[in-house]
Structure 1
């Protein structure tokens, strides 16, 4: 595992998936709910299972939690409400849509604490009381190696909370504006760009301001990233919604570069089909593409990157396969995190 590319991830398998009406107003990638709800939910559930299996086949460990809650249609996107970090921190984030706040689950945190070395839980979710938001690694794209946090302005990100996060976590903030040709802001940074160990994919043309675009591209180049610039049309097909992971199964130059594991760029089949042959060849110099079909889930406005919460924590005991079928335990604003080990930092 590299700092940037975890070898473990967390997935949520929803049993009542649906495009979320509460997020439709600012998510231009989202499609209206249609068809038989039961068929839609079953298809989404199967897509998460298929993603977990595909990850396992390349040596990426996925901990899968089932969600039987009927009021959390977007729970398949856990990277918005928590992130983990190699120093043992787990960070909780304030969510824009009220019905998404119920996605926070104490059993997920308890499982992480039981099996991994969690030193502290840092809770920014109290910012919701002031209508301020920072939707995790959806709203931000983090370069852990260079300690740079990229973020585009939207309803899902409040600059004050973003800057607090960067200051307290030791990241340099790069805040910019991005919009489509109609002027609609990009709702989450992680649909616009992806930053890996050596590779960065970015929809640079959607950063309309020349100075802001130059700063983003300049920071990526300073960090030594190979750039793959994608068009607005490719962004619309989720080509920017990728995540680099560390697994196994490659040989030769790529395996040598990856050290103890091989680098895989996880994306959807939709995203893979959007790249040109030249772009795919450039990507292949740094990572093997792992493309998985998730067309049902993409109707909710997110793709494979949105589905994956990277697990950067060190394990307490032996490795193994993990599957949680426990009913979700949602966290209320007033719930105490005291049963969890480590330091609990409530943001005020």
Structure 2
């Protein structure tokens, strides 16, 4: 049966957008000093931990309700608490990914306290309870022994239609692990590149600087060295409308957006209110031609966690027994 999967994958690989997402409630949310070492988007605040969690939970609940109202299936993964708190668990897209063949992959994350977010058995149970089929599992966590990391769709932005993975190399995105994963899922091309912020540090996650939809992409190309930038843009522009954003817009999470589909096949684009406000009217009009814009206020999560709406959405491409919200 496993030998037949590549044929099924070939048939279904043209699906760019998921119509189902996993979201994790921020019940242990807090400023994570461990991730802040290379995440310049995080900020400490004077509010108490309890105040932060109340605000984050309200923003999370509002986002879940709005996505469901729009017609996107949301699997709330209210994960079992462990001995170690997981302040970044609200960003599940960093530790797992799924395929239309029913495969679930788990990944090696760079920060020790984030490695405790990986709760595969509980996630499989939640997915299957929601009517999604997990037929096989694979993991790249053995790379932890080599101090090599790959933080799933945080560091990989996938063009499923063209079987291409785009990735900004960093401590959290090891080239060897990246190429191993691409080979496992049968993707033909890996476009990896360097980045540099004004501080000189690389982008910690590719998905804060770029997003790929079915026929568009958003990218902060100014952080890519010029000799690589031309190649990346040329590759994207073959069949995508390229929407370039500035460094300031990237800092407002304009790159951290995600095109999804409703259960009726309608296109929507999830983003934060910060990102929506930072896009120019012309850019909002361009994006609107690719789907209804769904802005969410996740300011607390953005400011303290250093990630936005896209980071909060773990795409589910798994086969479905039935349609369910």
* TM-score, shorter chain, exceeding 0.5: yes
- The equivalent of 1:184 in structure 2 is 201
2:159 counterpart of 1:143: yes
Matched residue SS, 1:103: coil
Q: Distance in 2 between matches of 1:288 and 1:110?
A: 32
For residue 66 of structure 1, report the CA deviation from its aligned partner.
2.1
Matched residue SS, 1:66: coil
- The equivalent of 2:111 in structure 1 is 97
- The equivalent of 2:34 in structure 1 is 22
- The equivalent of 1:306 in structure 2 is 311
Gaps of 5+ in 1: 249-259, 322-348
Matched residue SS, 2:293: strand
Greater shift in the superposed pair: 135-144 or 108-117: 108-117
- The equivalent of 2:234 in structure 1 is 218
- The equivalent of 1:127 in structure 2 is 143
Give the alignment partner of residue 102 of structure 2, picking from 88, 91, 98.
88
For residue 16 of structure 1, report the CA deviation from its aligned partner.
1.8
Greater shift in the superposed pair: 265-274 or 108-117: 108-117
Q: Distance in 2 between matches of 1:116 and 1:311?
A: 8
Kindly report which structure 2 residues correspond to 1:304-343, keeping only aligned pairs within 5 A, or say none. 304-316=309-321, 318-321=322-325
2:168 counterpart of 1:156: no
Q: Deviations over 1:86-120 (max 9, x none)?
A: 12111100000000011011211222245322221
Q: Distance in 2 between matches of 1:179 and 1:170?
A: 30
Matched residue SS, 1:14: coil
For residue 48 of structure 1, report the CA deviation from its aligned partner.
1.2
- The equivalent of 2:299 in structure 1 is 295
Q: Deviations over 1:17-64 (max 9, x none)?
A: 012111011001111253110010111111111111110111001011
Task: Answer yes or no: is the 8 Å Cα contact 1:18–1:33 preserved in 2.
Answer: no
Q: Distance in 2 between matches of 1:304 and 1:193?
A: 13
Matched residue SS, 2:259: strand
Q: Distance in 2 between matches of 1:272 and 1:155?
A: 29
Q: Distance in 1 between matches of 2:253 and 2:128?
A: 32
For residue 238 of structure 1, report the CA deviation from its aligned partner.
0.3
Kindly report which structure 2 residues correspond to 1:9-88, keeping only aligned pairs within 5 A, or say none. 9-67=21-79, 69=81, 71-88=85-102
2:218 counterpart of 1:204: no
Greater shift in the superposed pair: 90-99 or 212-221: 212-221
2:261 counterpart of 1:246: yes
For residue 319 of structure 1, report the CA deviation from its aligned partner.
2.9
Q: Distance in 2 between matches of 1:174 and 1:19?
A: 32
Give the alignment partner of residue 276 of structure 1, picking from 276, 280, 283.
280
Kindly report which structure 2 residues correspond to 1:227-242, keeping only aligned pairs within 5 A, or say none. 227-242=242-257
Q: Distance in 2 between matches of 1:71 and 1:211?
A: 42
Gaps of 5+ in 2: 1-11
Matched residue SS, 1:13: coil
Q: Deviations over 1:180-210 (max 9, x none)?
A: 1221210000000000001100001111x22
Q: Deviations over 1:130-162 (max 9, x none)?
A: 111000000110111111100001111111100
